Amino acid sequence: MNIEQKLIDNFYSLIKFDTTSDHYSTTYPSTTSQIEFAKILAKKCEEIGLVDVKVDHNGYVLATLKATTNKPTSKIGFIAHMDTSPDFSGKDINPNLIENYDGNDIILKNIVLSPKEFPSLKNYTGKKLITTDGTTLLGADDKAGIAEILTAFEYLKNNPQIEHGEIKLAFTPDEEVGNGVTYFNVKEFDCDFAYTIDGGKAGELNYENFNAASATINISGKNVHPGQATNIMINSAMIANELLSMLPNETPSNTKDYEGFYHLTDIKGNVEKTTLNFIIRAFDKDEFENKKQTIINIVDTLNKKYNNLLKLDLKDSYFNMYDILKDNMDIIEKAKKAITKTGLTPIVKPIRGGTDGARLSFMDLPCPNIFTGGHNFHGPYEYVCVESMVKAVEVIINISTDI
């Protein structure tokens, strides 16, 4: 089995399906395409020879590779998500394979993928890259993870002389809209611990992530003819502008490393009504609570000024998995060992985001995150390094066979 070619074939077959999730849907999964994709993945699992293959009514795909040893082993799971981000089109993806990247600008439709703007490209001179054609995202987040898990499981299935315990996979919907494991049955998955395969650069290992919340603010105004508006009109869009001016200048583009942020994801409105949607992020618990309180205080201040025209809906989304994983460092060490065995140096860094593993860790399934080899997710500049994808497969195999 040629792992590299199998990976490319798997990846290409997966990204042709549009599985964009939808923030505003009231169904689960948020899009029907994810259910159809789940059925396709289940068929692939059966073709590999996995057992107990299942797609439940929520769209979760589960499958098991039987143990090849009678030695006592931990039950290990590997998890990736099926949906792609609604931030950019995931329809009609046409991947662009660069066999031997020369280190220069990559000319795509309407855009240029340049190492001047994306310095990470400088690390891949001479490597094999898969990019977008410039009109869609690529879908490496997280179909690279799915392809890597399927390829690793198939390799182990085809080589029964390699000893390993029972290992399981799960593919989840709606991770990109914060609902990836809302209905995930941890008891049925029946693993001692798991790893999400949903990261970036080769060698990366993540066991810290943001604490996360969402905030929706609805502002009511009063619209009358502007020629007769004196002391009557209340412009909700102007109040929204005032609200934004009161926030600290802690946006994603102004923060890095362990710094948290407020991110205005969208705003829609007019004189009569304006809605703002934010996400709030912080690694530190106290900072997280302070950021939420800042939003509350701003809304309270404006409500006093404008006679309660603002309504705030503030919800926690997920929490920093380090609070759980700090007491399960043996599975972190297992991952470090597996990464080192591939010839890579483990790169331990916090996720400036979240994964399904963050919530699963608080559902009694400790679940750090491992790299996929992808970069620039959620947009047309997305790309993945094939050699890094091969390393991810090796890591999955190394973890599974470390008995």
pLDDT score at 312? 98
Q: How confident is the model at residue 138 (pLDDT cuts 50, 70, 90)?
A: very high
pLDDT score at 371? 97
d(CA 35, CA 264): 30
pLDDT score at 82? 98
CATH number for position 27: 3.40.630.10
| Mean pLDDT score, 126-155 | 98
Instruction: Pick the last residue of a domain from 318, 343, 358.
Output: 318
Q: How confident is the model at residue 22 (pLDDT cuts 50, 70, 90)?
A: very high
User: Which residue shows structure tokens 């709606």?
Assistant: 174
Domain shared by 203 and 222, yes or no? no
Domain that holds residue 22: 3-209+320-401
User: Which residue shows structure tokens 């001047």?
Assistant: 116
| Mean pLDDT score, 67-76 | 95
Instruction: Pick the last residue of a domain from 288, 318, 348.
Output: 318
Share the mean pLDDT of the chain. 96
Residue 272 has pLDDT above 90, yes or no: yes
Answer yes or no: are the C-beta atoms of 28 and 179 closer than 8 Å: yes
What is the tally of structural domains in the chain?
2
| Mean pLDDT score, 371-378 | 96
User: Which residue shows structure tokens 């199998």?
Assistant: 6
CATH number for position 233: 3.30.70.360
d(CA 21, CA 378): 12
pLDDT score at 355? 84
Residue 220 has pLDDT above 90, yes or no: yes
Answer yes or no: are the C-beta atoms of 309 and 219 closer than 8 Å: yes
User: Which residue shows structure tokens 């490209």?
Assistant: 121
| Mean pLDDT score, 256-266 | 95
Domain shared by 65 and 188, yes or no? yes
d(CA 364, CA 200): 25
Name the residues annotated as catalytic.
83, 175
3-state secondary structure of 189: helix
Domain shared by 327 and 265, yes or no? no
User: What's the first-to-final CA gap in the chain, in angstroms?
Assistant: 24
pLDDT score at 308? 97
Q: What percent of the chain has pLDDT over 70?
A: 100
Poorest-pLDDT segment among 208-217, 268-277, 289-298, 352-361: 352-361
The pTM (predicted TM-score) of the whole model is: 0.90
Domain shared by 355 and 382, yes or no? yes
Residue 353 has pLDDT above 90, yes or no: no
User: Which residue shows structure tokens 């609604």?
Assistant: 86
Query: What residues contact 45, with CB distance under 8 A and at least 6 apart?
Result: 53, 61, 63, 150, 153, 169
Domain shared by 47 and 99, yes or no? yes
Residue 1 has pLDDT above 90, yes or no: no
Query: What residues contact 238, with CB distance under 8 A and at least 6 apart?
Result: none
Domain shared by 197 and 307, yes or no? no
| Mean pLDDT score, 93-118 | 97
Q: What percent of the chain has pLDDT over 90?
A: 95
Domain shared by 300 and 392, yes or no? no
Answer yes or no: are the C-beta atoms of 179 and 360 closer than 8 Å: no
Domain shared by 345 and 311, yes or no? no
Domain shared by 333 and 313, yes or no? no
Q: How confident is the model at residue 400 (pLDDT cuts 50, 70, 90)?
A: very high
pLDDT score at 354? 80
CA-wise closest residue to 334 among 193, 199, 209: 193
pLDDT score at 23? 87
Measured CA to CA in angstroms, residue 51 lies from 42, 63, 190, 401 at distances of 10, 6, 14, 19
The secondary structure of 227-282 as a DSSP string is GG-TTT-B-HHHHHHHHHHHS-S--GGG--TT--EEEEEEEEE-SSEEEEEEEEEE
pLDDT score at 118? 97
3-state secondary structure of 378: coil
Residue 110 per-residue DSSP state: S
Q: Give 158-214 pLDDT, tens digit per residue.
A: 999 999 999 999 999 999 998 999 999 999 999 999 999 998 999 999 999 999 999
Domain shared by 174 and 195, yes or no? yes
CA-wise closest residue to 207 among 316, 329, 390, 116: 329
Beta-bridge mates of residue 267: 276
Domain shared by 266 and 352, yes or no? no
Q: Give 24-57 pLDDT, tens digit per residue.
A: 899 999 999 999 999 999 999 999 999 999 999 9
Instruction: Pick the last residue of a domain from 281, 299, 318.
Output: 318
Domain shared by 105 and 225, yes or no? no
d(CA 321, CA 256): 19
Answer yes or no: are the C-beta atoms of 333 and 207 closer than 8 Å: no
